Chain A
C-alpha cells in the first residue's frame, strides 16, 4: 500500500525558533498533500491543502505567514512553523493523495511538536 513518512517524529524547540517538518510519499506521486493539526484528545483539524507547484490553500483562521507550506515536488511537502510559541505545541499530521486515488488520503505517522 501507499506509504507516507514524516520527519521528525518528534521535536522540542525553544520559543521563537522555527521548525521544519517534512512529509514524503515513498512509493507514489502525491499531487495533493494536506496538513492537519491535532490537539490532545481532540480531532484532526485541516490546516491547509497544497498542490505540487502551486501555493497552498489555508483554512480560515490559519496564519499562512506562520505556517509556511512548500510542495516543491510530487513526493515532498514541508511545513515550517515560524517563530514558534508554546501554543503551537501540537501533533501535526500530513496526508497525501495520488492522482489515481481520488478519494483516499494516506496519512503520515505524525510529528509531535513541543515548544518550550
Chain B
C-alpha cells in the first residue's frame, strides 16, 4: 500500500510570503494524490488533486501542486499566503481500485501565518 511522508510538521510564515509544503509518497505504478485542508474542529476540504494528465495542478484558494514522478513528490505551493490560510494541511495518496479507493494520509503540516 502507498504511504505518504510530510517532512514538515510545522511551517511558520509571514503574511504575503510564499510557502511550500512538502509531500513525498512511496512509488507505485499508478497513484492518485490529494491535498486537504482542515480548520480547527472541522472536517477536511479538498484543495486539489492529481489523477492524471498535467503535472501542475491548480486548486482552490490560490494553491497549486506539482506531481513529480521521478522524485515521488507532490509539494503544495502558494505564492502569497493570507492569515486565513492558517490551518492543518494533509497530503493523501490512493492506489485507486487496488486499495478500494481508500486514502492514506500523511501526518499533516501545520501552517501558521503571522502578520
> Which A residues are within 8 Å of any B CB, using their own CB?
6, 32, 34, 42-46, 49, 57, 91, 93, 95, 97, 102-105, 107-110, 112
Contacts and interface: CB of A to CB of B under 8 A. Distances in A.
29 contacts: A6-B43, A32-B100, A34-B102, A43-B90, A43-B108, A44-B103, A44-B105, A46-B102, A46-B103, A49-B100, A49-B102, A91-B41, A93-B43, A93-B44, A95-B44, A95-B103, A97-B101, A102-B96, A103-B49, A103-B94, A103-B96, A104-B34, A105-B103, A107-B43, A107-B44, A107-B45, A109-B42, A110-B42, A112-B41
Interface residues of B, number: 24
Interface of B: 32, 34, 36, 41-46, 49, 51, 90, 94, 96-97, 100-108
Given A43-B108, A44-B90, A103 B44 contact: no
B32 to A, nearest CB: 5
DSSP majority for the A interface? strand
Given A43-B105, A44-B90, A110-B43, A57 B49 contact: no
Given A44-B90, A93-B43, A110-B43, A103 B101 contact: yes
Contacts of A34: 102-103
Contacts of A93: 43-44
Contacts of A91: 41
Given A103-B94, A104-B46, 18 more contacts: A34-B103, A43-B106, A43-B107, A43-B108, A49-B102, A91-B41, A93-B43, A95-B44, A95-B103, A102-B96, A102-B101, A103-B32, A103-B49, A104-B49, A105-B103, A108-B43, A109-B43, A110-B43
B16 to A, nearest CB: 27
A98 B43 CA distance: 18
A95 B101 CA distance: 11
Greatest chain A CB density within 10 A among B36, B45, B103 is at B103
- Taking each of B46, B94, B101, which has the highest tally of chain A beta carbons within 10 Å of its own beta carbon? B101
A109 B51 CA distance: 24
